[in-house]
Structure 1
Amino acid sequence: MLKSFRSAALLAAALACATPAAAANLKATVSQAFQSMLYLPLYVALDEGLFEKAGIDVTKETAGAPSVALSAVISKSAQFSLHGPEWTAVAASKGAPVNIICNVVNGAAVWIAAAPDFPFKEAKDLKGQTIVAGLMPTTSTSLFLKYLKENGMTKDDVNITQVQIGTEPGPFLAGQAKVAVMYEPGLDQAVAKGMKVLVGFPQHYGAYAFSAISARKDVDPATAQAFVNGLQAALVLMKTDQAKAIAVAKKEFPTLDPAVVEAAVKRMMSEKVYPETADISPDALKVGLDTQIALGNLAAQPDYATFVRRSFIEKAIAGN
């Protein structure tokens, strides 16, 4: 009797361990624009097995550019892509059968940093300065140009030195400029060397649809729902267990100083760069796309009701 009981217990344990893998009968590829700390919710979902628990086996690919990632979805070589929603809005305005199915980054994750001795009281103190910024087109530099315009200036009022995205700390820390516009973890790499933060766009602009998951309109509904369920579970986990989110970030970026990784994640969480849920509000989408409209990259706002597939989002939130 005891032997039978032990055998039954072992079988039950084996079945319990096998359940997540067995449940993952759906498969999908997500093409991310870059390997970016902004995309931490995706990495948490992957590394913590949350997609498998949602019943989907997800493969991550890195495209190297937002347009390439979205092209993978349009051509059906990937089911999902991760990048700024403006790329999807532009493609949709030209007839591509794509839209947004959930949120990943809901804050304008860009900061202006400066040397510790740089005097700064208002935006016009930047006039005449050399500014290190990412090579266009990129949202960081686009937002900086928007910031200048909002404060009565143009790009001609500063000297913008454009560099490859992610390399901004190099010339900045080398003293080639006293000011830089950066994403994370570049910002906290600079802060660790004594630089100071002048302006944080997450706080300046509030809710801002910065990066989202795109899919074709004819995406398999069950596959899309399982994917959004996994991401929603990741966002819930990040909110309740910051230490686990930091641990995943350190795993995904092993060549970075762990202290910098931790500082960057904590900053983005405290400034609400990562959303609490997979939802995208109409206001957040409008603010995000208004930047591209102001720069002439997008003609008009898309119809929110058809551009954002809220049914997937609502079911994912209800289930988590």
Structure 2
Amino acid sequence: MRARRLSLVVAAASALLFTAACGGGGTTSEETSAAPGAEETAGEAGADLTPLTVGVIPIVDTAAIWLGVDEGIFEKYGLDVTLDVAQGGAAIAPAVVSGDYQFGFSNVVSLLIASSKGLPLQIVAPGNFSTGDTSADIGAVVAKPDSGIASPADLAGKTVAVNTLNNIGDVTVKEVVEKAGGDPESIQFVEMGFPEMPAAVAGGQVDAAWILEPFLTITKDQGAEVVTYNFAEVDPDMMIASYFTTQQYAQAEPEIVEAFTAAMSESLDFAADNPDAARAILSTYTEIDPAVQEKMVMPRFSSELSRDSLELLAGLSLKYGLVDQEVDLTALLP
């Protein structure tokens, strides 16, 4: 186990947890290089390991890669991985394109939007998925019990907080509202950080909030009720986020990309097979309250890329005006 090395980034990651989300900007760097010697093929004392920097966000969604580094999985494939903590996915994509990072993590709607604007990105591995459970997922829309909002249709005409406008939160909320017979275009979305949402809902600054774990559990503990688990309602197999590189890097370094994809896939499978370890690794890079960490819902981890999910989100992004034309998924997928 390499938890001691991971602890080198706890301070930076913890400070950023409460501003980190699917969007955002700014980057800070701390090294979390994997320890040498996982297998003889990786070289003695770290020799022959290829150094890589991966841009990540210190949230529950990235638990698999932190676990993979901790378990020495990347070393097994000849990679010396540094996890560089960014405040959000919006800061990661430009850093990957510029070459500061070789790989990055972002929600897939952000990648679809970036690809539609001409950024030459390529998905190499899944990040995390919805649990598919419409009664317990990692994200939900919540409101006060006395708000009069009992179903997604009731969100029409209301103010709903999201962490980033025109992204995976509001596009999936709009879809569940339309499916329920409400007018999605009448919703007034308000951009707000996840940490501020519990108080905003309780104090009536917004009618409802779309919120992710661990803040979902915190908000529910404060008395808010779930209106809809929008990810699971839209697509029970929704691929929420992915790891990506640039098309140029994939063409120039196919063996490194193949090794990273294989290591990431094994890390995702390990996280799926060892849910207690995936939950426990959060303590090394976040400051989630132990009681909240114990009972909050974790995302589903899987090594299987879902083109169907990507196509659905691409269609919703076009439907609700996040992109101007159909996204070329053949360019975005390996």
The TM-score by the shorter chain falls in which range? 0.7 to 0.9
Q: Choose the corresponding residue for 1:251, options 270, 284, 288.
A: 284
Match of 1:85 in 2: 108
Flag the 1:289–1:62 CA change in 2: closer, same or farther, 3 A: farther
Identity over the aligned pairs, expressed in percent? 21
Partner amino acid for 2:53?
T
How many residues are paired up?
A: 286
Q: 1:27 offset after TM fit, Å?
A: 1.3
SS of the residue corresponding to residue 167 of structure 1 reads: helix
More moved, 79-88 vs 19-28? 19-28
Q: 1:260 offset after TM fit, Å?
A: 1.1
Q: 1:239 offset after TM fit, Å?
A: 1.9
Q: 1:29 offset after TM fit, Å?
A: 0.9
Q: Name structure 2 gaps, 5 residues minimum.
A: 1-35, 133-137
SS of the residue corresponding to residue 248 of structure 2 reads: coil
Q: Choose the corresponding residue for 2:294, options 262, 267, 270.
A: 262
Partner amino acid for 1:102?
A
More moved, 61-70 vs 158-167? 158-167
Q: Aligned partners of 1:130 and 1:97: how far apart in 2?
A: 35
Partner amino acid for 1:22?
G
Q: Is the 8 A contact 2:73 2:263 kept in 1?
A: yes
Report 1:277-292 matches (<5 A). 277=303, 279-292=304-317
Deviation track 1:160-212 (CA, whole Å, cap 9, x = no partner) reads 44312443223123444453211111101112223222211232122223211
Flag the 1:226–1:158 CA change in 2: closer, same or farther, 3 A: same
Report 1:2-41 matches (<5 A). 19=40, 22=46, 25-32=49-56, 34-41=57-64
Q: Choose the corresponding residue for 1:275, options 301, 305, 310.
A: 301
Q: Is the 8 A contact 1:123 1:151 kept in 2?
A: yes
Q: 1:153 offset after TM fit, Å?
A: 3.4
Q: Aligned partners of 1:235 and 1:224: how far apart in 2?
A: 16
Q: Report which of the two has the higher share of helix.
A: 1
Deviation track 1:275-294 (CA, whole Å, cap 9, x = no partner) reads 322x2222111112222112
Q: Is the 8 A contact 1:54 1:227 kept in 2?
A: yes
Partner amino acid for 1:218?
Q
Q: Choose the corresponding residue for 1:230, options 252, 258, 263.
A: 263
Match of 1:316 in 2: none
Partner amino acid for 1:247?
A
Q: Choose the corresponding residue for 1:241, options 274, 277, 281.
A: 274
Match of 1:295 in 2: 320
Flag the 1:54–1:152 CA change in 2: closer, same or farther, 3 A: same
Q: Is the 8 A contact 1:135 1:165 kept in 2?
A: no
SS of the residue corresponding to residue 61 of structure 1 reads: strand
Partner amino acid for 1:84?
N
Q: Name structure 1 gaps, 5 residues minimum.
A: 1-14, 310-320
Q: Aligned partners of 2:226 and 2:110: how far apart in 1?
A: 29
Flag the 1:200–1:152 CA change in 2: closer, same or farther, 3 A: same
Given the two structures, how large is their TM-score scaled by the length of structure 1?
A: 0.78
Q: 1:79 offset after TM fit, Å?
A: 0.6
Q: 1:54 offset after TM fit, Å?
A: 2.4
**1:198 maps onto 2:227 in alignment:** yes
Q: Is the 8 A contact 2:143 2:227 kept in 1?
A: yes
Q: Aligned partners of 1:159 and 1:298: how far apart in 2?
A: 20
SS of the residue corresponding to residue 72 of structure 1 reads: helix
SS of the residue corresponding to residue 154 of structure 2 reads: helix
Q: Is the 8 A contact 1:101 1:215 kept in 2?
A: yes
Flag the 1:16–1:228 CA change in 2: closer, same or farther, 3 A: closer
Flag the 1:185–1:193 CA change in 2: closer, same or farther, 3 A: same
SS of the residue corresponding to residue 66 of structure 2 reads: helix
SS of the residue corresponding to residue 111 of structure 1 reads: strand
The structure number with the bigger radius of gyration is 1
More moved, 106-115 vs 216-225? 106-115
SS of the residue corresponding to residue 209 of structure 2 reads: strand
Q: Is the 8 A contact 1:99 1:215 kept in 2?
A: yes
Q: Aligned partners of 2:86 and 2:79: how far apart in 1?
A: 21
Flag the 1:190–1:121 CA change in 2: closer, same or farther, 3 A: closer
Deviation track 1:118-140 (CA, whole Å, cap 9, x = no partner) reads 55553223345443332414422
Q: Aligned partners of 2:285 and 2:220: how far apart in 1?
A: 21
Q: Aligned partners of 2:88 and 2:150: how far apart in 1?
A: 36
Flag the 1:17–1:150 CA change in 2: closer, same or farther, 3 A: closer
Q: Aligned partners of 2:195 and 2:64: how far apart in 1?
A: 20
Q: Is the 8 A contact 2:142 2:226 kept in 1?
A: yes
Q: Alpha carbon RMSD of aligned pairs, Å?
A: 2.7
